[in-house]
Amino acid sequence: MRNLRIFLLAAVLLPLGFEAGAGKETGGPARITAEQVDSDLKTLEICRAGLRALDGYVRSRAGLYGKTAADRIYTREEKEEVWGLWKSYFDYLVTLDRLGKKYGDSYDKLEKPLRQGAFLAAYGAFMAQYSSALTVIEQLEKNGAIDVILNEDVPEAGIPKGSYFKFKFRFLNAARAAEFVALEVLYAHYKDVSHPGSRKAAEEDAGFIWKHGRVKGQVQTLRNAMAVVKKAGFTAWFPVQTEVSEFMGDAKVYRRHSSLITQEQIARIAPLLEPGDIFLERREWYLSNVGLPGFWPHAALYVGGRNERDAYFSGPEVVVWAKQLDPVCGSLDCVLKGKYPEAYETSLRPYMGHAPKVLEAMSEGVTFTSLEHSLEADSIVVLRPRLPKTEKAQAILKAFHYSGRPYDFNFDFQTDDTIVCSELVYKCYEPSPRMKGIRFETEKVIGRHVSPPNLMAKQFDVEYGTDRQQLDMILFLDGREWEKAAKASTLEEFRRSWKRPKWYIWQ
């Protein structure tokens, strides 16, 4: 049936001979490349898988989310799980918004076949959002208590009053259905043949929406479809804002290809660092790092270069420690080279033209990167463990052990074969009989215990000034969107930063 619909839509298009973007500038935005489209389609795949994992988790917890759970009083712990899942859900949803907005504003200005891939990213983001929303609403509407819980004002969780009502209003209205039909018309025109996996996933989502029975209306011409989509701002993405709303109209365009922290600032930071330091980082317009809650979405470990390690770990206590591990060694680097020769060689190779001094888990896996790359963010904080140098050396030794592991898109801290960003920091400093380490707290996200970077920031705030304090803040560069710059900020401001919402959805 859907193939028949697409055939009819295509039949409408052929007599028109219409090219979207005709009369506009040719060549399109020069900075959108085929590699960028491929990467963002991968992000779309991750978001889609994450949304389905959340849906599966909800279905598996019928005692909490199902119809039978509606007639009881929820405990605070149960409410926190519901709120946590709601935040995780919106993390994926808003990432899809950013992805769709990015290409929805530019796809028709690009040359083929780049135009087709860009449209597929926007189209796929819409279909993943819409189909997931219909699934979630259908499931949650079985339980009236969940409706009440999700509409509560929960400032400590960053959830505003009436969020579920607004969510339903967004997706359960005729305008959304009209946009869907319009995009189906455009899809028949822009159909991409170079990304079969992404195309199949988007078509599956669209097929679900047709089957769901929410879509009504007549087949439109391509010109009408373009008008509907343009009027809606291409699928009426959430009005995501990051600071004060009046500054964001320009920022969404201006900031698409730049970071607030400059290379000059990074050069000034470098002399202040010590091997073993922990970075918490935020990139306002970055489409990955999705799935973990909070203002701080990324963590990394500063391991230093060979010269920095030799200088920092030159004391007698580290020499003794190194000889205990390998009698022929008298330095950390000798131990690293002997235990993990492949990782050690990798750590010496330039990363994008710069010396690798950071180890972080990214979508490509656990990778040695440079300061110039890792700190090219919008906000960063450097935290220093209150530990002896021998324990920092042990942490770096563990870090080299995890080098090359794939990224853990399931965020499962129980496994070691794949690693997520904060999990790398967590496991490198994990206490053991031979190491006091750092006791990072964990929380449950979709039923799994994790230690997100934002929780690390919260723990620093809670422990600061007590005998339980485990870290010191070395510096905090706070991104200021209205100034288009990152400025040095205070300890007090960093301590409050974990309370900032990850996404400004409802303003």
- What are the tens digits of pLDDT across the range 189-201? 777 778 889 999 9
Which sequence spans correspond to the domains of the chain?
2-12+42-238, 263-497
- At 331 the pLDDT is 96
Residue 166 has what pLDDT? Answer: 85
CA distances 101 to 11, 433, 480, Å, are 28, 50, 22
pLDDT at 181 over 70: yes
- Amino acid identity of residue 381, one-letter, is V
Query: Of 80, 94, 81, which Cα lies nearest the Cα of 50?
Result: 94
Per-range mean pLDDT, top range of 219-228, 236-245, 382-391? 382-391
**Is residue 72 a contact partner of residue 281, using CB atoms and an 8 Å limit?**
no
CA distance 473 to 60: 41
| HSE toward the beta carbon, residue 334, CA cutoff 13 A | 16
Radius of gyration of the chain (CA): 25
In the predicted model, what is the mean pLDDT of residues 58-66? Answer: 80
Cα 88 to Cα 417: distance, rounded to the nearest angstrom: 23
Digit-coded pLDDT (tens) for 250-284: 233 334 557 899 999 999 999 999 999 999 999 87
**Bridge partners (DSSP) listed for residue 300:** 279
- Residue 238: pLDDT above 50? no
Nearest to 320 by CA among 335, 339, 338, 340: 335
| pLDDT band of 426, cuts 50, 70, 90 | very high
CA distance 247 to 507: 13
- Region 371-393: what's the mean pLDDT? 97
pLDDT exceeds cutoff 70 at 415: no
Across 141-145, 238-242, 307-311, 375-379, least confident range: 238-242
pLDDT at 7 over 60: no
- pLDDT(454) > 60: yes
Confidence band of 325 (pLDDT split at 50, 70, 90):
very high
Query: What's the length of the chain?
Result: 507
Lowest mean per-residue pLDDT among 99-103, 132-136, 300-304: 99-103
In Å, what is the CA distance from 339 to each residue of 217, 273, 329, 366?
A: 66, 25, 11, 17
- How many angstroms from the chain centroid is the CA of residue 174? 31
Q: What is the distance between the alpha carbons of residues 446 and 58, in angstroms, rounded to a whole number?
A: 9
Q: Is the CB of residue 117 less than 8 Å from the CB of residue 125?
A: no
Short-list 383, 409, 408, 377, CA closest to 463:
383
Residues 277-312: pLDDT tens digits?
999 999 876 554 565 668 898 899 999 999 999 999
Question: Which pLDDT score, from 0 to 100, does residue 68 have?
Answer: 66
Which CATH fold would you assign to the domain 263-497?
endopeptidase fold (from Nostoc punctiforme) (3.90.1720)
Number of other residues whose CB lies within 10 A of the CB of residue 295: 20
Q: Is the pLDDT of residue 493 over 90?
A: yes
What confidence score (pLDDT) does residue 33 get? 84
Q: Which of 241-245, 359-363, 368-372 is the least confident region?
A: 241-245
Alpha helix (H) ranges present in 340-388?
Answer: 341-348, 371-374
Q: What is the mean pLDDT of the chain?
A: 79
Which range is most confident: 14-28, 96-110, 306-320, 421-435? 306-320
| CB distance 156 to 461 below 8 Å | no
Instruction: Name the pLDDT band for 14 (thresholds 50, 70, 90).
Output: very low
Which of residues 300 and 26 earns the better pLDDT score?
300
Burial class (CB in 10 A: 0-12, 13-18, 19+), 307: exposed
* Residue 459 confidence (pLDDT): 97
